Amino acid sequence: MARMYKSRKGKSGSSKPYVTEAPEWSNTNADEVTKLVVELGKAGHSTAQIGTVLRDQHAVPDVRLVTGKRIGTILAENDIGGTYPEDMMNLMRQAVRIIEHLGSGNHKDIHNKRSLELTEAKIRKLAKYYMSEGKLPSDWRYKRDELRLMVE
């Protein structure tokens, strides 16, 4: 399958092995893992950072195998997180950084103008998906001039 924003073919990637239960050496106490996820979420960590901390410091290789839920689901059940999904917020932060770069005397940087267009296309595409899933209001629109307010 070809890459969407590149002019080349994609590479095959590795996939996680099919496992239905946590290994015996891991921490399998679901309540303790849930408390750790909520605690780290309240501290302001992203879901990827939470997963890394749990793996490296608490011997939890996969939260879903222990609790039966994903980290994002656990955070959503406890009303932790922002108004926008994490992947969309990361793209919006990236767009803000590119806009600041172009605005600070680099208005002729055509490569970053292109990367801003691609990033904004990804944001719109994700927004369309999240509107269909009900995670964003149906009248939400991407506006470049209001982007900094949404990110902060």
Determine the pLDDT at residue 3: 74
Q: Quick one: what percent of the chain has pLDDT higher than 70?
A: 99
Higher pLDDT among residues 41 and 10, named by residue: 41
Orientation angle between helical segments 110-133 and 86-103, nearest 10 degrees? 150
Mean pLDDT of 15-21: 86
Per-residue pLDDT for 17 more than 90? no
Q: Note the residue count of the chain.
A: 152
Query: What pTM did the predictor assign?
Result: 0.80
Residue 102 · residue 123 · CB < 8 Å: no
Question: What pLDDT digit, counting tens, does each position of 57-66 carry?
Answer: 999 999 999 9
Angstrom distance (rounded) from CA 98 to CA 115: 8
Determine the pLDDT at residue 49: 94
- CB atoms inside a 10 Å sphere around CB 82: 10
Higher pLDDT among residues 102 and 6, named by residue: 102
List Cβ neighbours of 147 (8 Å cut-off, separation of 6 or more). Answer: 92, 95, 96, 99
Largest CA distance in the chain: 57
Across all residues in the chain, what is the average pLDDT?
90
Determine the pLDDT at residue 82: 79
Higher pLDDT among residues 14 and 137, named by residue: 137
Per-residue pLDDT for 23 more than 90? no
Determine the pLDDT at residue 2: 67
State the DSSP code for 59: -
Determine the pLDDT at residue 1: 54
